[in-house]
Structure formats: structure tokens, C-alpha cells
Amino acid sequence: MMSTVSAEKAWDELTLSEAEYRRAGARYRQRRSLRAYLFLLPYFIPFIAFLLVPALWSIWLSFNRGGILDPAKYVGLENWRSIASDTELTGAIQNTAVYAVEAILLVFTLAIVLALLLNRYRKGSNIFKLALYVPLLAPAVLVGLIWQFLTNFDFGFINLALDAMGFDRLNILGSGRLALLTIVLAEVWRGLGFWTLYFLASLQNVPEELLDAARVDGARGVQRFRRVTIPLLRPMLLFAVVIAIIANFQVFDTVYVLTQGGPYESTSTMVWFIWKRLFQFQETGQGYAAAVVLLAIILALTAISFRVLGARRKRRA
């Protein structure tokens, strides 16, 4: 097939004028592009139906009151003015940002360290991989209940351990900072297995020849990791950062089970704020407006991640 196409192309070069050849090449590229788009249709149809259309519909409903059980009534920027003056939303954005930064940094650091160890010491590592992955199989609600039991003031494991060591008990879920930290630790514990296996698979795709060449040149372990491994892992790291940002900015289940946004909204997150406006206060327009804000934040952070990591990759190339 390839030889036939090449022969036709060579014949065209000999028999057609330069202008005719360019026009024929343009038509050929258009036909190839059309075939490529046809193959992509099975992806684009669900994308449009389940992502693009709901996003556009949410933007429209953010300018309306009602729209779910009641007929939508256009109110202009009223919903946007309401959430802009709502201090709970600004607090939820701050809490979500703090949570996302802490969770991503902690889980990525632990996952990369564990992946390096598992990549080096492979004997008997399958049992350890399974143990790491088990929490991810548990529903998020169950993970929240486990950490609620661990942090309980009266019979929680943490407070019983503090008692045994002679320290005062901590009202962990009653303290804003400790409650947010508990949510971070619960989500890190749940996602650690996935990210460890993800980075382990990425490490095992690094060519051994490059590492051996760096070793021969006198590079030590840290230097090999910094100068060889990390540049090769940059595309996988970019994907991981984008996925982690999207996932962590939508945290809800653990917040719902552990704190329900308390104490005093100190663990209220963006999705928790949206849920309250939609289902607790029945302010659907404000809920959709906040959802659009969340979408804009995620898209902006994703674009920044692509720009920063992509620019570094180009400089190294």
C-alpha cells in the first residue's frame, strides 16, 4: 500500500505542473484529514453530549433562577453578584487551593519515592503493590468512615495512642486546620497506590542504556535521576499534574462524610459549596455560577501546567 502511494506521488511529480501538484497535494491532505476526523467521531460524540453540552447549559443556567424543577427565569448577573459577595465562596476557593497543593505535593512525593524503591527492589514487590492499591478499591465514603473512626475523640485510634503516651487528646475534626489536614491525609492514603504504580510504570519505561551511559560518565544516583530520569518522565508528569488538579479540585465525598464543611466552614470546598447551593438552599442559579467558576479555575490551572512544563521541555530539547 505504501509503495503504491509513493509511486503515485512520484508519477504526479513528473507529470503535473508545480501549481497542479500543490493543488493535488492539498486535496489529498484534506481527504486524509477527513478520514482522521471520521475515526475520531466515536470520541467526539460522547464528549459533546456529556461534557460540552452540560457545560454550556450550566453557563446558561448561571444567569437564571430555577431551571431544574421550576421553569428557568432569566435574572442577568444577579447570581454572579450574590456569589461574588459571599465570603463562604472565597473561603471555599482558598480551602480547595490549600487542600489541592498539599495533597498533590504529598502524594506525588511519596509515590515517586515508593516507585523508586519498588523499581530497585523488585523481589517480593507484588504483595506491597497490592497492599498499596487496596485503598483505591474502597468507595470514598468508606475511606471517610475509616478516617472518622481513626480521629474520633473518644475511641479513635489516634487519641487512644496519645492517651497511652501521656499526651492530651485532640479534637481533630473540631479544629479547622487539623480537619483539613485529615481530609488531605485520607485522600493521599486512598490515591497513593494508583500514583505509585503510575510512576513505577513510567520509571520502567526509561531506557536502561541511558542510565548505564550516565553511570559510565560518573553520574551518581541523584544526578542520574535529575538529569536523565526526570526529563524523560516530563510528559507523564504533565499528565499526572493535570489529572491530579482536576481530581483534587473536585473533592467532595470525604468532606461530606468527615466534616460537612465544618467547623465554621474551615473545610468547605468548591464542590461542597456548589452542593449546598443546589440541594440544601435550592439556589440553583448560584450553584451553577459557582460550578462555572470551578470550571474556569480548573481550565486555567490546566493551561498553566501545560505552558510551564511544556516550555521546560522545549528548552531542554
Host domain of residue 25: 2-44
Q: Based on the domain organization, do 117 and 183 belong to the same domain?
A: yes
Q: Based on the domain organization, do 184 and 289 belong to the same domain?
A: yes
Q: Is 63 part of a structural domain of the chain?
A: no
Tell whether the model's pLDDT for residue 92 goes beyond 90. Answer: yes
> What's the confidence (pLDDT) of residue 47?
81
Q: How confident is the model at residue 24 (pLDDT cuts 50, 70, 90)?
A: low
Show which of 12, 29, 44 is a domain's final residue.
Answer: 44
Q: pTM to 2 decimals?
A: 0.82
Query: Residue 196 belongs to a domain with what CATH number?
Result: 1.10.3720.10
Tell whether the model's pLDDT for residue 288 goes beyond 90. Answer: yes
Which residue did the predictor score with more confidence, 65 or 289? 289
Q: Based on the domain organization, do 277 and 181 belong to the same domain?
A: yes
Give the end-to-end CA distance of the chain in Å, rounded to a whole number.
34
Q: Is 65 part of a structural domain of the chain?
A: no
Ramachandran quadrant class, 138 (left: phi over 0; alpha: psi -120 to 50; beta: rest): beta
Lowest-confidence region among 21-30, 98-107, 292-301, 304-313: 21-30
**Cell numbers at 39, concatenated:** 475515526
Tell whether the model's pLDDT for residue 2 goes beyond 50. Answer: no
Decide: 79 and 288 in contact? Cβ < 8 Å: yes
Q: Based on the domain organization, do 37 and 101 belong to the same domain?
A: no
Tell whether the model's pLDDT for residue 1 goes beyond 50. Answer: no
Q: Based on the domain organization, do 7 and 146 belong to the same domain?
A: no
Mean pLDDT score across all residues of the chain: 85
* Cis upstream peptide for 207 (omega within 30°): no
Show which of 29, 44, 59 is a domain's final residue.
Answer: 44
Q: Based on the domain organization, do 33 and 106 belong to the same domain?
A: no
The angle that helices 230-248 and 87-120 make with each other, rounded to 10 degrees, is 140
> What's the confidence (pLDDT) of residue 77?
92
Q: Is 179 part of a structural domain of the chain?
A: yes
Q: Based on the domain organization, do 20 and 113 belong to the same domain?
A: no
Q: Is 80 part of a structural domain of the chain?
A: no
Decide: 224 and 242 in contact? Cβ < 8 Å: no
Q: Based on the domain organization, do 175 and 269 belong to the same domain?
A: yes
Alpha-carbon gap, residue 219 to 298, rounded angstroms: 39
* Over residues 86-109, mean pLDDT: 95
Q: Based on the domain organization, do 299 and 219 belong to the same domain?
A: yes
> What's the confidence (pLDDT) of residue 43?
80
Q: Is 53 part of a structural domain of the chain?
A: no
Q: Based on the domain organization, do 197 and 139 belong to the same domain?
A: yes
> What's the confidence (pLDDT) of residue 296?
94
Q: Is 6 part of a structural domain of the chain?
A: yes
Q: Is 66 part of a structural domain of the chain?
A: no
* Over residues 12-33, mean pLDDT: 58
Q: Based on the domain organization, do 239 and 135 belong to the same domain?
A: yes
Q: Is 121 part of a structural domain of the chain?
A: yes
* Cis upstream peptide for 263 (omega within 30°): yes
Tell whether the model's pLDDT for residue 11 goes beyond 50. Answer: no
Q: Based on the domain organization, do 29 and 117 belong to the same domain?
A: no
Show which of 26, 44, 62 is a domain's final residue.
Answer: 44
Residues 6+ apart with CB under 8 A from 158: 150, 151, 170, 172
CB burial class (10 A; 0-12, 13-18, 19+) of residue 291?
buried
The total domain count for the chain is 2
Lowest-confidence region among 8-22, 23-37, 133-147, 169-183: 8-22
